[in-house]
Chain A
């Protein structure tokens, strides 16, 4: 470890100008990152962590002002340095891995050229061995067939591969510090684990520093030497992950821990219950009591919201009626390759499952596993190539759009991204009652009463009826979307990654709401998710999909406790928070 830290912040204060007033985003943050160290900054969205990362790299928007303090890079104060100066630092001293690999590469340039450009910037000009260096760099970040990849365009690569390319670009200038802003939150768990493993390995090899910005305490605790918890622009706590997990001092740390512990803990709980005596033990709730005792005080906050659910599961397990049955479903997409030969991609193959009234079936899989396709077919948005779908005993897979319309009152969907699922021009009231208006069911005072009942159902105050979506937080928006889906009183609700766009603590609250609604209204869920902890907290049965093929399915206790396939085991092992669980 060298004496001079790579980056040092001294009492940094940052604000955003908004009209005439200035809103503080970072209020007096001091931190040091040295070579060979991995530091994680954890916090909810809006805690100022991304602003901090951007300030270090010098990529703040024009509306941001540095109100005080200093940013020191390798012993040199760059707080007021010129753009040209900071540009020299970027790449050579500071490498930045941006948040979303899907939009961070230029879609019209080949991978090799984009990496090459970074190398040219770093070395100060073109040179003979550039192409060889590009390939070497791509190999270093773990891309197979790097020479081929260099000739491909970003859209030909998966999200994980693109993230590796971004890491390669960050590494091009041989920086002393890599700043990774939510490097894996857009990726699947197993991919996430591989990427983080690789980053850790690179840091160790090159003796550089790594600064991870994340909202996921599990990721931070697994990877970092030091964890800093940010809340409302301040660092409220810092220390080794073990210490923070065992003895958190700040209330918001406890909240974060409780949220992740309750989620990741549930996976382990479900698994533990499954291994004991299978489903019976799980249903008997024995594991739950043990879990609560273990996690103790820390998880109690979240557990309070969640513990009612397993009881309800046991309650409704002897389900009688099948509400949705899918038989040997298959879907092929026609592809046209460069030579014009028609090919087909098998998105789904021989999928069969059943959903019982009042229960939750979870479909788990990574992106591209066909889970969204299955959902769209069941919703009548797409037609299957093979197989049939029955709703309440009636075949619905080949109904026309008009014939399907009456069924919309009984089958509804909650979409993935609450930020795009609401019309930006519709107030909460308009959004929530829209299905009622579309079907012409209610009007006037009756409609008004329904609007109030619906927002009340999802625990939103009536005062938010007049608000526009942009005036709501992500969690509130998802509540509105759930209320809208419930407006027609459906019997079956499809949940397409309902919480993947939300912060961990908000996730726990939304999941608790979903469980409560199921208890009160007896509605069935089909939950599509890549996140095992989400699945563990609400599902009765699980179906694991991979590449359109069913890997395994069964009651949650059995699948998580005694996974029959290696793939399920891999998925389970990839859930972040291993270190945290060990401490607990």
Chain B
């Protein structure tokens, strides 16, 4: 209400000089600079709002580090993840081997970092697949309505009735293991959530006056969807994407844990935890540390999603 006071005052103040001054238009370059400044200003403002929450900053940094590790593991891991050194086997965490070593003397930290490659890449891809398919289906059924809507949504209901992880297991058994198959397997399970959220948002935005105004302004459906509906329906979907990224990582690790993961000796979070299980009493760090990293990642993603949701309101 207070911001309105200020702008209401501004309304009265700015009315007078408006008329007939358009002749003195500033040069285009200056305008563009102004425009960019204004946009930069808004971005800086949003960033400042995020940085005021230390928890969120920490989570963002952690996720960023994990992503860096996943796409350029050489940056972080000083050891070869597959180089065995029987003399150094089962060492507890120490300054040389940060996470200790496993039963064959391989550096656990290097294995965790290299293992993240598969989990995170598959997670990213899975969310990408789910986002693409979910957004498409959601917009289609929200916009078309009627029979198309009923048909798409019943299909989604069927998908929703199957437990996601079971579905992923079936797909992986059918098409084998690897970044892409895992991503597809996990991604399909995530589609219903995206489709439903998108549809609900599209239904909400579709009835708003500015969409009608755009239609009356002569905009075609494609333009309305791309410029008005999607950007304004995006918020909750983005939150869901962040949340589901965490579950995708968990699902990938779960597949690995159950033995549907990468074939040894390739490192993978789920496989690492599963093999470490045998030494839980003598060398607990073998299971606990990879598990801790996975947990922290999911926790960070959830926290970011939560913050996004709050700042949106």
Contact = CB atoms under 8 A, between A and B. Distances in A.
Contact of B213 (A439, A448, A484): A484
Interface residues of A, number: 58
B217 A471 contact: no
Interface string A522-535: 00000000000000
B29 interface: no
B18 interface: yes
Contact of A425 (B7, B14, B231): B231
Contacts, number: 120
Given A381-B212, A422-B210, A473 B8 contact: yes
A499 to B, nearest CB: 14
A84 interface: no
A292 interface: no
A438 interface: yes
A420 B208 contact: yes
Contacts of B38: 466
Contacts of A372: none
Interface residues of B, number: 39
Given A438-B214, A456-B21, A46 B209 contact: no
Interface stretch (A115-123, A165-173, A316-324, A407-415): A407-415
Nearest to B26: A462
Contact of A413 (B14, B21, B34, B216): B216
Contacts of A23: 2
Contact of A448 (B5, B28, B219, B232): B28
A256 B6 CA distance: 18
Contacts of A275: none
B216 A473 contact: no
Contacts of A473: 4, 7-8, 10-11
A423 B1 contact: no
Interface in A344-394: 379, 381
B213 A476 contact: no
Nearest to A460: B18
B35 interface: yes
Interface in B212-270: 212-214, 216-220, 223, 227-228, 231-232
B19 interface: yes
Given A16-B2, A417-B209, A435-B217, A471 B232 contact: no
Contacts of A405: 218
Given A445-B28, A506-B11, A434 B214 contact: yes
B53 interface: no
Interface string A27-47: 000000000000000001111
A434 B2 contact: no
B20 A456 contact: yes
A488 interface: yes
A464 interface: yes
Given A434-B217, A461-B18, A415 B11 contact: no
Contact of B228 (A50, A381, A423): A423
A413 B213 contact: yes
B95 interface: no
A193 interface: no
Contacts of B220: 438
Contacts of A18: 2
Given A46-B8, A47-B5, A424-B232, A460 B14 contact: yes
Contact of B25 (A47, A417, A462, A484): A462
Interface string B186-228: 0000000000000000000000111011101111100100011
B106 to A, nearest CB: 50
B96 interface: no
Contact of A456 (B18, B34, B228): B18
A421 interface: yes
A379 B5 CA distance: 35
Contacts of B94: none
Most buried by B among A415, A461, A471: A461
B22 interface: yes
A46 B2 contact: yes
Interface in A449-464: 449, 452-453, 455-456, 459-464
Contacts of B25: 449, 452, 462
B15 interface: yes
Nearest to A380: B216
A304 interface: no
B264 to A, nearest CB: 50
A425 B232 contact: yes
Contacts of A476: 7, 11
A438 B219 contact: yes
A488 B216 contact: no
A416 interface: yes
A232 B6 CA distance: 10
Contacts of A396: none
B17 interface: yes
Contacts of B219: 434-435, 438
Contact of A423 (B20, B210, B223): B210
A475 interface: yes
Nearest to B4: A46
Interface string A218-256: 000000000000001000000000000000000000000
Nearest to B1: A46
A434 B214 CA distance: 7
A438 B18 contact: no
A455 B22 CA distance: 10
B20 A420 contact: no
A45 B7 CA distance: 11
A474 interface: yes
Complex A-B, nearest 10 residue pairs according to Cβ-Cβ distance, in ascending order: A46-B5, A435-B217, A438-B219, A473-B7, A408-B218, A438-B218, A473-B8, A421-B209, A459-B18, A423-B210
19 contacts: A23-B2, A25-B2, A45-B5, A47-B5, A381-B212, A413-B212, A413-B213, A415-B213, A420-B208, A423-B232, A448-B31, A452-B22, A452-B25, A456-B19, A459-B19, A462-B25, A463-B14, A474-B4, A475-B8
Given A452-B22, A453-B22, 14 more contacts: A44-B8, A45-B1, A45-B4, A46-B2, A381-B216, A408-B218, A415-B213, A421-B213, A456-B20, A460-B14, A461-B17, A466-B38, A472-B7, A473-B8
